[in-house]
Amino acid sequence: MKTVLITGCSSGFGLEIARYFLARDWQVVATMRTPRADVLPPSERLRVLALDVTDPESIRKAVEAAGPIDVLVNNAGFGAASPAELVPIATVREIFETNTFGTIALTQAVLPQFRQRKTGVVVNVTSSVTLKALPLIAAYRASKAAVNAFTESMALELEQFGVRARLVLPGRAPDTRFAENAHAHMHGLEHEAYAGLVKDIFARFQDTSTPVTQAQDVARAVWRAATDPSSPMHIPAGADAEAWAAEVR
């Protein structure tokens, strides 16, 4: 029986990914900053561990407690809408600490066991906004684009060990806490110089006639990345992400 470790499982994509793997008879190590086993269906194949990807000691303890795993899914992350001119550098650092450095640090902690066993898969969940520039998310987009670049180069290094690395690129998701969590980090949205742009962008986000990404779209894409050796490096997740990917081909 194979084991997957997933970050950011308290809600949204991570929660659905954990459910998806559990339903397919995998052992699941679901991690979150504040562990809550009640958000997932009871199972003997489920372990819920505390993990803060910005804390090296938390990473060490979680990887040790998880034991051998077959797949690592780096899903934890957050973003915030702000004009690039006005986003505080402290917020930029916080975004990169979670989205970029946290992903890299946890990957580095897991890779030795993959390399030694000559098997394993790293699946990094980034974003379809790395395919197409959008205003007001410069710091978030940059943090996810950095993970893309890291993963693409890492994949070339790991081929010799039989270890794979893949990217899953979700689109806009209306049914997760991502937007809710971002509010505390938004800055400059009321600045008169950007008020018109902000109004236009937020109106587009609230347009229910455009395609969006559901959490299960992401879970299916992660499953493909984890289980299909022939899967491509970049796997868009969701109708909007697939449309953007088609535009840039």
Tell me, yes or no, if 20 is annotated catalytic: no
Which residue is catalytic, options 140, 150, 194, 223?
140
Residue 139 token pair: 């710091």
Q: Of 21, 44, 236, 245, nearest to 121 (Cα)? A: 21
Residue 36 token pair: 């809550």
The residues, ordered by sequence, that sit 6+ positions from 50 with a Cβ below 8 Å of its Cβ are 31, 32, 33, 34, 35, 58, 61, 62
- Measured at the CA of 129, the angle between CA 120 and CA 70, to 5 degrees, comes to 10
Question: What CA–CA distance (Å, rounded) separates 49 from 30?
Answer: 6
Q: Report H helices in the chain.
A: 12-23, 56-66, 89-96, 102-117, 138-158, 178-182, 195-205, 215-227, 239-248
Phi, psi of 98, deg, nearest 5: -80, -55
Question: What CA–CA distance (Å, rounded) separates 166 from 160?
Answer: 16
Considering all CA atoms of the chain, what is the largest pairwise distance in Å, rounded to the nearest integer? 57
Contact 40, 102 (CB under 8 A): no
Catalytic residues: 140
